[in-house]
Amino acid sequence: MAYFVWETRRRTEADVMAPHFAPTKKEHQVSFIAGRRFVRPLPVLEIPFQASGDFVITDDLVIRSRRCLVHSSRLIEVLRKAGVDSIDYHDCRLINEASGAVFTNHRAANLLDVIHCLDRDKSELDIDDEEPSEIWSINRLALIESRLGDSLMFRLGERRNTVIVHASIKEAVERAGISGPVFLPAEGYREWAGFSGENPLNVIGTHDLDPNGAADSLGDEADDSA
């Protein structure tokens, strides 16, 4: 298992989950999942959330149905030391709308490495009959690893919201005790249809070896566990 899908999840009720990322595509005509460097500098991005009591802003900020977009300074340093050099970072402010408090220890991550490496013959996919390049969902993922070279962290070209990392990055992140990421083996990874409903853990995909238990075998329990 050399490669893993990076999920971003809440692990406890105290973990903050922001409802959405900054509206960069609409307001600034740039996408943080396209894998392109931005020509013009961005203003400081604002990402709202609501939390009260004792809450935790995870190192990899949990954003509903999104992966690996906002990193703490600690996570940035862990990735840098592990050899990841394909991320541009942009200033952002996390704003707790419940209290007005502003947090500036995180930065927005633009992962530039994008690799088309989906093995269509071995993967199980739901695709658009009229547009075969349009993938509705991944039911079982298989990669063409010969295309990966020495890549450590990249977006899947055919499904760019999916972030994949080498085992060495998984190990470095886990060894540092970074909060937010959950790593699922890329081979056999599948997207979870239930993510679009009530989903307090922010489970997007799953695997038979999912540390939370395979979401599609738990039924509604995955929605009610936080």
pLDDT, tens only, 98-126:
999 999 999 999 999 999 999 999 999 98
User: Is residue 111 within 8 Å of residue 117, measured between CB atoms?
Assistant: no
For range 25-54, the mean pLDDT: 95
Report the alpha-carbon distance of residue 107 to residue 119 in Å, rounded: 33
For range 198-219, the mean pLDDT: 88
User: Mean pLDDT, the chain, as a whole number?
Assistant: 92
Q: Give the containing element (helix H, strand E) for 175.
A: helix 167-175
Q: Is residue 35 left, alpha or beta, with left meaning phi > 0 and alpha meaning psi from -120 to 50? A: left
pLDDT, tens only, 128-175:
777 777 888 999 999 999 999 999 999 999 999 999 999 999 999 999
Count other C-beta atoms under 10 Å from residue 191's C-beta: 24
Does 196 score more than 90 pLDDT? no
Report the alpha-carbon distance of residue 35 to residue 102 in Å, rounded: 28
Buried b (16+ CB within 10 A) or exposed e, 58-74: bbbbbbeebbbbbbbee
Q: Which pLDDT score is estimated for 194?
A: 80
Q: What is the dihedral of CA 75, 32, 180, 204, to 10 degrees?
A: -150
Does 50 score more than 60 pLDDT? yes
SS3 breakdown of the chain: % helix, strand, coil, rounded to 5?
15, 35, 50
Task: Answer yes or no: pTM beyond 0.75.
Answer: yes
Count other C-beta atoms under 10 Å from residue 134's C-beta: 11
Residue found under tokens 């995870």: 58
